[in-house]
Structure 1
Amino acid sequence: MYENKYLSIYHDIVSKIRQGHWKPYDKLPSENELAEQYETSRETIRKALNLLSEHGYIQKMKGKGSIVLDVGKYDFPVSGLVSFKELAQKMKTPAKTIVHELEVIKPGEYLKKHLHVTNKDEIWKVVRSRKIDGEHIILDKDFFHKKFVPVLTRAICEDSIYEYIENKLKLKISFAKKEMFVDKVTDEDRKYLDLNGYDHVVVVKNFVYLDDASLFQFTESRHRLDKFRFVDFARRNH
């Protein structure tokens, strides 16, 4: 019960920060005030505040209490290999995928280089925008080797391609290599994204492999600058 209590307090405060009850740089109530509000001990409140600090929601200032940080960005793990559906469920934020293109193409020089394919191969091209909190802020351009993914439908692409690949095709997605850089917006970005005046996007290239080391997917994921921070966890080896 003790652990459940501090976790429920943590989630409640996160929800209030996300909803704007406390704005960036606001000071949270004191430990005593929060303990009274949540009808619990200061130790339980302290555990909840430590968790908030660890996850980047607050900064604990000695002698000044806890200051709310700007969380108007969404966390997308650089080193992780997860689907947008899984991320949306984790964020607990209204999200929707819109499929703009779904077709089988022959690879040009760019795809032959990035997906290690030849003129004889057929490639699924999937262009999708991701709508979060009412704004289109990610453009995903996915390319799948048709040898590994023979069939794709609009319904699959609107839901989760990874879920389909793993549960229906019984393929094991194993690892990915990633590149990240900032790029100028393109006409395609302007067409599908709500750019809000930004003239650059953050681009993450993903080269995704199956457990037999077969490269089956190349993705170019284009993110609006102001809405995303890319997070990773690193520990220094001693």
Structure 2
Amino acid sequence: MKKNKYKYIYEELAAQIKDGSFQPGELIPSEHDLSAHYETSRETIRKALTLLSQNGYIQKLRGKGSVVLDTNRASFPISGLVSFKELADQMSSDIWTHVVGFGLIQPEPYLQHQLQCSAKEEIWKVIRTRTFDGERVILDKDYLLKKHIPNLTEAICEQSIYAYIEQELGLIISFAKKEITVEPCTEEDKSLLDLNGFSHVVVVRNYVYLEDASLFQYTESRHRPDKFRFVDFARRHMK
């Protein structure tokens, strides 16, 4: 038992999180208190907490302790290409989209590189926050080439840009390349999201293409890490 005591502690704490003894957002007891409770060293407790963190049960917050994550977080598919509204329609949470920035811009070098366009191109810039049960937990930053999407309105952006593109413009959205990273929060994140002490966000960058392989959209979706998990189904191909 002593050799694997940290695993025993991990399993017991994980079970308490699953059965609701510890609620999402609640701090679990400190390393000192857990060490006294289990009559073991703080190093053993740290191993158990590290395992809890690695498996998505807790998030360690500097200077505060370990907060319980919501294990019933909304699932966002990695490989799928769906709009946020399509995902929201499948969820039971109270979800709202708020457009906080909208207009036409000419791209600076960073966006020229991301969209593979010239400085003379006009680009729709759409900044939206997604609110779940009263908390702003996603910041979506969309950039769309006007030559492909000639007309766009704030009202469309409050609903579904993809529905407008496919149903009104008759274009076919075909595929996307995605990059997922964890990055420090920016001042914009701090201003527009309810971060609840988190110092990092999960960033999903999408490069979205039409049926003719034209890149028409670059999206940067910034997620508070305790509310979402990204999922995929993978199958091993046997030789």
Instruction: Check whether TM > 0.5.
Output: yes
Q: 1:181 to 1:88 in 2, by over 3 A?
A: same
Cα pair 1:140 1:219 within 8 Å, conserved: yes
* Equivalent residues in 2 for 1:135-174, closer than 5 Å: 135-174=135-174
Secondary structure of 1:225's match? coil
Q: Partner of 1:191 in structure 2?
A: 191
Q: Partner of 2:92 in structure 1?
A: 92
Cα pair 1:24 1:70 within 8 Å, conserved: no
Q: 1:218 to 1:236 in 2, by over 3 A?
A: same
Q: Partner of 1:25 in structure 2?
A: 18
Cα pair 2:70 2:227 within 8 Å, conserved: no
Q: In structure 2, how many angstroms separate the alpha carbons of the residues matched to 1:25 and 1:148?
A: 47
Secondary structure of 2:197's match? coil
Secondary structure of 2:226's match? helix
* Equivalent residues in 2 for 1:3-152, closer than 5 Å: 24-26=17-19, 71-152=71-152
Structure 1 residue ranges (4+ consecutive) displaced by more than 4 angstroms after TM superposition: none
Q: Partner of 2:232 in structure 1?
A: 232
1:222 CA displacement: 0.2
Secondary structure of 1:221's match? strand
Q: 1:233 to 1:125 in 2, by over 3 A?
A: same
Amino acid at match of 2:82: V
Q: Partner of 1:208 in structure 2?
A: 208
User: Identity percentage over the alignment?
Assistant: 59
Query: 1:155-203 CA deviation, whole Å, 9 max, x = no partner?
Result: 1000000000000011100000000101100111011100001010000
Amino acid at match of 1:129: T
Secondary structure of 1:167's match? helix
Q: In structure 2, how many angstroms separate the alpha carbons of the residues matched to 1:107 and 1:161?
A: 20
1:217 CA displacement: 0.1
Q: In structure 1, how many angstroms separate the alpha carbons of the residues matched to 2:118 and 2:210?
A: 19
Provide TM-score, normalisation by structure 1: 0.71
Segments of 5+ residues of structure 2 without an aligned counterpart are 1-15, 21-68
Cα pair 1:25 1:70 within 8 Å, conserved: no
Q: In structure 1, how many angstroms separate the alpha carbons of the residues matched to 2:109 and 2:165?
A: 26
Q: Does 1:221 align with 2:214?
A: no
Q: Does 116-125 or 71-80 show the bigger shift? A: 71-80
1:24 CA displacement: 4.3
Q: In structure 1, how many angstroms separate the alpha carbons of the residues matched to 2:181 and 2:198?
A: 15
Amino acid at match of 1:161: I
Q: 1:103 to 1:197 in 2, by over 3 A?
A: same
Q: Partner of 1:20 in structure 2?
A: none
Cα pair 1:142 1:219 within 8 Å, conserved: yes
Q: In structure 2, how many angstroms separate the alpha carbons of the residues matched to 1:143 and 1:229?
A: 24
Cα pair 1:177 1:207 within 8 Å, conserved: yes
1:26 CA displacement: 2.5
1:72 CA displacement: 3.5
RMSD value, Cα: 1.5
Q: In structure 2, how many angstroms separate the alpha carbons of the residues matched to 1:24 and 1:170?
A: 47
Cα pair 2:75 2:230 within 8 Å, conserved: yes
Q: In structure 1, how many angstroms separate the alpha carbons of the residues matched to 2:118 and 2:134?
A: 40
Q: In structure 1, how many angstroms separate the alpha carbons of the residues matched to 2:165 and 2:70?
A: 36
Aligned residues: 175
